[in-house]
Amino acid sequence: MSEETNNNSGKAPRKQQRRSIVTQNKLLEAAVEAFSENGFNGTSTRDIAERAGVHHPLITYHFKNKDQLWRAAVDKEIRKFRKLLYGSFENHTDACPKARMSSIVRDYVYFAKQQPAMHKVLVQEAHFPNERLDWLIETHLKPLFDPVFALIEELQELGVAPKGNAKLLFNMIRLSSGGLLALGNELRASSDIDVDSHETLDEIADMIITVFLPGEVRNKA
């Protein structure tokens, strides 16, 4: 076999692989959007294929079934948030606990605006117990939340955060950003709040920090 033949034989698979990756990404983006709007049971694979602009049989080719597609789509979205959260931790390791938590709040507010589908999917699945919710909690939410629970407890001990159940407090903070921004269309119409504005997003973060982290870290004498 000539060198030219070898080169040509290598090009087609690479090109096909790139097309396959593009198709998968289209399906994942369309899936998380559809699942966030209509829930798992209310979403059909044909709807996802139409949104993605691909042939319906490609869903089973790439993901086997709807459940596998749901898990892959959700996994991709939450990995984005995990990367953001861990990056926030790493970038503020030398900061005081309140500054670290404040940075997480701000990052979460902006992420919730950029990726509203993630919070909407969580709301859809939380309506009733199911295997997808169990998988989501064990695979992603518990490992993701545990470090933040510990930070909240530290802030409570320092008098920065209110006393009480640290896990409940964290979820109140989380829902005050993600839940609020998931209602963006309603807020715009009912309250004239522009959630597309950076000023509004900054104000949301500032208010969350003021309400839930009212104290200050005192320097040790």
Model's pTM, two decimal places? 0.83
Which H helix or E strand runs over 12? helix 3-38
Q: What percent of the chain has pLDDT over 70?
A: 93
Among 38-52, 77-91, 183-197, 201-215, the range scoring the smallest mean pLDDT is: 77-91
The DSSP 8-state label assigned to residue 138 in this structure reads: I
Q: What percent of the chain has pLDDT over 90?
A: 67
Which H helix or E strand runs over 125? helix 116-125
Domain with 199 in it: what CATH number? 1.10.357.10
3-state secondary structure of 194: coil
Q: Is residue 220 part of a domain?
A: no
Q: Is residue 221 part of a domain?
A: no
Could you list the residue range(s) of the whole structural domain that residue 130 is in?
Answer: 3-212
Q: Is residue 218 part of a domain?
A: no
The per-residue pLDDT for 3 is 41
Among 10-14, 58-62, 64-68, 90-94, the range scoring the smallest mean pLDDT is: 10-14
Please tell me the total count of domains within the chain: 1
Q: Is residue 174 part of a domain?
A: yes
Q: Is residue 219 part of a domain?
A: no
pLDDT band with cut points at 50, 70 and 90 for residue 91: confident
The per-residue pLDDT for 1 is 45
Cα distances (angstroms) measured from residue 64 to each of 38, 48, 113, 196: 21, 14, 31, 37
Interior/surface letters 29-54, b for 16+ CB within 10 angstroms, e for the rest: bbbbbbbbeeebeebebebbbebbeb
Q: Helix axis angle, 3-38 relative to 45-52, nearest 10°?
A: 120
The per-residue pLDDT for range 158-207, each reduced to its tens digit, is: 999 999 999 999 999 999 988 888 888 899 999 999 999 999 999 999 99
By C-alpha distance, which of 187, 206, 45 is closest to 116?
187
The per-residue pLDDT for range 65-83, each reduced to its tens digit, is: 999 999 999 999 999 888 8
Name every residue whose Cβ is closer than 8 Å to that of residue 29 and which is 6 or more positions away in sequence: 52, 73
